[in-house]
Amino acid sequence: MRVKPDPSFLPSKTETQDHIIFNPPSSTPNVYHTPSLFLPQDDPRRKLHTRALTPQSASTTSPADPSQTSALPKPIRPIYEKKYHLTPQQVEEVRALRKEDPRKWTRVRLAEKFECSQFFISLCCSAPEIKEEREKQLEEIKRKWGRRKTEAREARWIRKEGWGMDA
């Protein structure tokens, strides 16, 4: 192609050293990139543009006015407050119930009964026999795997072992 290059890409005759040319790639368009001059009068983006330019902040609203209490939407779920309400006797009861019948008194049921988290129940007590059963079930499943799947899982395990080694 015999196209004359743009002068900005040619070496400079006034500067003796090289310099960096910053030419960022185009990005996805944004509402604020379109000037309001080019938007129709009834376009909703015009309102967004003017709202973004006006200096309003959450601190300007007075807390005495109940209609302007918060700019955030209402939460979807009720806000969970942590409770530190279990006494040592209740913790012992949790352990006794879990030890008595771990199939009936699962972490979920104990957490519902004592109104605490499942994580707290797991800190209080464990069920080693259930853990052993789950491990046996997993070994039974692994025994049915073929050669390729077994090798792939072993390779994945070796890669995970080396995750923190290069740092």
Based on the fold, state whether residues 117 and 137 are members of the same structural domain.
Answer: no
- Classify 122 as helix, strand or coil: helix
**Cα–Cα distance measured from residue 116 to residue 82, given in angstroms and rounded to the nearest whole number:** 8
Number of domains in the chain: 2
Based on the fold, state whether residues 120 and 145 are members of the same structural domain.
Answer: no
Q: What is the pLDDT of residues 40-75, one digit of tens each?
A: 888 888 887 777 777 764 444 445 555 555 578 888
Based on the fold, state whether residues 92 and 120 are members of the same structural domain.
Answer: yes
Residue 135: give the domain boundaries. 131-160
Query: Is residue 11 a part of any domain in this protein?
Result: no
Residues of the chain with pLDDT under 50: 57-62
Query: Is residue 66 a part of any domain in this protein?
Result: no
Based on the fold, state whether residues 93 and 117 are members of the same structural domain.
Answer: yes
Give the pLDDT of residue 91: 94
Task: Provide the residue count of the chain.
Answer: 167
pTM confidence score: 0.42
Based on the fold, state whether residues 151 and 122 are members of the same structural domain.
Answer: no
Give the pLDDT of residue 59: 47
Q: Which are the contacts of 17, defined by CB distance < 8 A and separation ≥ 6? A: none
Long-range contacts of 39-47 (CB under 8 A, 24+ apart): none
**Cα–Cα distance measured from residue 31 to residue 19, given in angstroms and rounded to the nearest whole number:** 34
Based on the fold, state whether residues 100 and 118 are members of the same structural domain.
Answer: yes
**C-alpha distances out from residue 57 to 49, 51, 53, 62, 157, Å:** 16, 11, 12, 11, 51
